[in-house]
Structure 1
């Protein structure tokens, strides 16, 4: 589908209306979607056919000292992602510390177990082996 002959003029006029704060067909958002709604054309008319006018729109918004709504949204998302990444890094550091502590505890238990087994092997040792407890049998289970 080819663009209407006056499409570029309508885009420029819609840009001026939005920047003046008097949109006729949109909510006045400083976005390409808002501009497309104001011009009453599909968004891809600005993102594919009239890329120069899309860039010009963003330049005009920035020149007025305003930040386009899409950029604001992206900045909020970046901030949120940085916060999530920091929280994940903190949790990961805690988990790594836990792993180190658990490995140390396991190593200590293995050493103590080895020492007790060595003492148990010595005749007349004061270490005695306790009888192992059998797990209670659950009715209907197949364990032996």
Structure 2
């Protein structure tokens, strides 16, 4: 097949897809479907006839149609942004919890130190753990 015949076939496939009357593909407005409709390999469109690929995308956009691949990417991006927002909210919440717990630990440390200092005054004897040799002896 010569290049002009190939280009004519691609243009005819483009027209069929845009008209909604595919013969050889699923009718989706994608490069894969255009290649199937034109009965050429996808790389023929993406490497050899880049101008026709760009023309097809321009016509699809002009019709206000968002290609499935772009729609899926936009949905994925929106979902990722929601997850990020949720994660950032949870991080902020956990950071607040950490600060609160650090304050509690500091207060308990001060109170513990104060109690240890007052133990002799209160008549409390500090019991030291026995070693094994003392317990057996």
- TM (norm. structure 2) is 0.81
Return the offset for 1:56.
0.8
List alignment gaps of at least 5 residues for structure 2: 130-137
Contact 1:18–1:30 under 8 Å retained in 2: yes
For residues 62-83 of structure 1, the C-alpha deviation after alignment (integer angstroms, 9 at most, x for no partner) is 1112222222112111111111
- C-alpha change, 1:129 and 1:21, in structure 2 (3 Å) is farther
Once residues 19 and 52 of structure 1 are traced to their aligned partners in structure 2, the CA distance between those partners, rounded to angstroms, is 17
Aligned residues: 128
Q: Within 5 A, what are the aligned runs for 1:1-144? A: 4-5=2-3, 6-120=5-119, 123-125=120-122
RMSD: 2.1
- C-alpha change, 1:12 and 1:108, in structure 2 (3 Å) is same
Return the offset for 1:129.
5.1
List alignment gaps of at least 5 residues for structure 1: 133-144
Q: Which runs of 4+ in 1 moved over 4 A?
A: 126-132
- TM (norm. structure 1) is 0.78
